[in-house]
A and B are shown apart, each in its own frame.
Chain A
Amino acid sequence: MKKIASERFGLTMIAATLIAIVISASQLYLHNSHNRDEAIKVAGRHNIRLLSKLTLSQLMPEQGHDAILELLNNNHNSPDFAYAAVVNAKNQPLATSSTGKTTIPEITLQNQSNWVSEDTIEQDGEKLLEFRAPILEQGLLAGFIRIGYFQPKMDFQLQKLPFFGQLILPVFLLVPLAYWLIRRELSPLRQVSDDMNDILKKQNMNADYNSATDFQDFMENFKLFMTKIDQRFEQLNHQSTKAQATTLALSYQRRRIESALQSLPDAILVMDETGIATFVNSKLLPLLGISLDKILGQQPQIWCESIEIIDLLAKYHNNNHRLQRSDTIEFNPVNNPEKTIAVSAYPLFAPKEIETICGTLVVFHDKTPEMLADQGRHEFINHVAHELKSPLNVIHLYAESLSDEGGIDPVQRIHAINVINDEVERLSGLISNLLNISKIEAGNIVINRQRIKLTEFLEDIFSSVSLSGSDNHMDFDLQLPNNLTNIKADKDLLRIAVNNLLTNAVKYNKVNGKVTLAAEETDQSIFIRVSDTGCGIKESDQTLIFEKFFRSDDDYVLQKNGHGLGLALAKEIVELHHGKITLESKLGQGSIFKIELPKTSTTI
């Protein structure tokens, strides 16, 4: 199709050239004819003027001698010369000379002009141009001189052929040459055009064009190519913007997911289907003590020191049989053997193919706090059970002793009854302490804040404790400043806290010891201080003394009844009022417990 188009272009060129040649040749011919016409007229007029200047006698010196006409005939130097004749005034030829191609036409000299005239005469189908002039003899009209020329015809003159041939040949030669040159010069264009076409075809943008020539082909193709390129460029630009936006969104989402994974309380490890770690969160470092760089991009055998974990993870990367469910083991890390870590592996299924496993999620959960809490709970229950059973046991034993058939003496009986009473009270105190602690710890207790006249309040507690402790010959001292600010607090709870400190001060005091209850006030806080001159608390116990059920293993302490809840409860109550409780003590010298209540939360 394209070949034919390009050949057609060649043929059209040749045809156009031929038409141009024909037009040029005809123009040339017409021009030539016109020139001949003019030349005849010029030659005729010139000759007739020359001859008309001669007299008849000069023209014809002798009768029948027509030398001048012969001369003219032989030297007219024009292919169109027909004849020359001298006629008398009556139009009778006196002398003639012709080329023999035609006879001298007979004409009627109707208009006997005195001057030169021209006439077109038709004879035997040929047009003749005749120039006439009168001949004078001694001033009188003696005759006429007539010179005839063939009027040039529109015919092809063979003698002119070489001229035309010379003219046309180079053009004929030049045309194919030019055509060949153009084609040769255009061939790279064609190549480019073909290439562009191929690209367009490849890009599925084939155009429906129908152009005639290579160059047009090229231009059309080029235009189309540019349009398509432009479209494609627009499209790509659009796609690129879209892709950039998508990439940004994806990267944001990825960062968010990674951030979520990093924020998880447990350590996370994600492995691909070959067991190579692809993601690790920072929680794994403190758990295993292995730097994350060593884990990422590696298989468990490389970084993991625990055979249990390697065995667990191997189940998920076994090509023959991959575990399809989660599995959990517990292990103690080498760097931290007292910790217990639960390692759970979960197979990751490909999003759309439920059967295909694309990796494993491994969660490392530090179970130590839970285990400690479990252990603590267990210990607490044991403790409570023990503390409850001990007084019950004593009551049971004394009750049994009272019911002894053998009978016991009255002193022992009274003692038994007193012990039973004491133990019942102790049991009741223990239970209410337990309930209070449990309420505070569960956050269920509602502080019933009421206005407390601190001076009266402290005096009241002081007097009740000092009465009960008077048996031991103790010295009680109350140091309260004047105008102590009234406070807003839960009266019942605060009474328990202060009472617990005071009874402890009495319980663990020496015989003849001293118990002091004092209060101080600063701009920020109110301090309630309970000091004793008792056994004191050894340094190692001072941090533990406020813990539930803690009892020192000092002999002096062990001799006294106690269940280790009094100080724990006092601390909880003070903290409930946003205050704090502190202790200063030296073994054997006594202890000072100080309650600090901030005025911001307790003053009116």
Chain B
Amino acid sequence: MKKILIVDDEPHVALVLKQFLERAGLCVLTALNGELALSIIKQESPDVIVTDVQMPRMGGIELCETIKRTMPDLNCLLILMTSRTDREIRIWVEKQANIEMMEKPLSMRRLLVRVNDYFARSI
């Protein structure tokens, strides 16, 4: 079963995503911030990580950079959920491999489509 990690400081967001993705047959893990996420990633090696950008204690961008730096072998899709339509983040994301951006308010169906698409390609 494919593992997906949801990282968001808003517990409701993590919860509703978890319920929805579990209904779609995925194994869903959640973390409240980047630091907690890192320890879960080390243990569980998720296939997809969906993370918020603005979080206390290590935001989404720092989490992505840390993963790339410390775990270069991790074969994983990173999806940044951001309310910021900042050019800077978009430019930063465009330069990164395996990192994508989805804007808030997030559509769970679109997320599921994207995740399934990724799994289909990676097989």
Contacts and interface: CB of A to CB of B under 8 A. Distances in A.
A and B associate in one complex:
yes
Contacts of A423: 12
A416 B33 CA distance: 23
B87 interface: no
Interface string A395-410: 1111011001010100
Interface stretch (B40-48, B69-77, B90-98, B102-110): B102-110
A392 B105 contact: yes
Interface string B30-59: 001100000000000000000000101100
Given A385-B83, A558-B32, A559-B11, A401 B104 contact: no
A558 B10 CA distance: 9
Contact of B23 (A390, A400, A406): A406
Interface in B2-28: 9-13, 16-17, 19-20, 23
Given A408-B19, A551-B56, 4 more contacts: A389-B83, A394-B10, A397-B17, A419-B12
A555 B20 CA distance: 26
A419 B109 CA distance: 20
A329 to B, nearest CB: 26
B99 to A, nearest CB: 20
A553 interface: yes
B114 interface: no
A558 B31 CA distance: 12
27 contacts: A385-B84, A386-B54, A386-B84, A389-B104, A389-B105, A392-B104, A392-B105, A394-B10, A394-B12, A394-B16, A395-B105, A396-B105, A397-B13, A397-B106, A397-B108, A398-B16, A400-B107, A400-B108, A400-B109, A401-B20, A401-B108, A416-B16, A555-B32, A558-B9, A558-B32, A558-B33, A558-B57
Interface of B: 9-13, 16-17, 19-20, 23, 32-33, 54, 56-57, 83-84, 104-109
Question: Which of the listed residues A397, A401, A406, A555 has the most CB atoms from chain B within 10 Å of its own CB?
Answer: A397
A401 B20 CA distance: 7
A551 B105 CA distance: 23
A173 to B, nearest CB: 124
Contacts of A397: 12-13, 16-17, 20, 105-106, 108
A559 B19 contact: no
B32 A396 contact: no
Q: Which bracket fits the contact residues of A?
A: 20 to 34
A385 B84 CA distance: 8
B56 A558 contact: yes
Question: Which of the listed residues A385, A401, A408 has the most CB atoms from chain B within 10 Å of its own CB?
Answer: A401
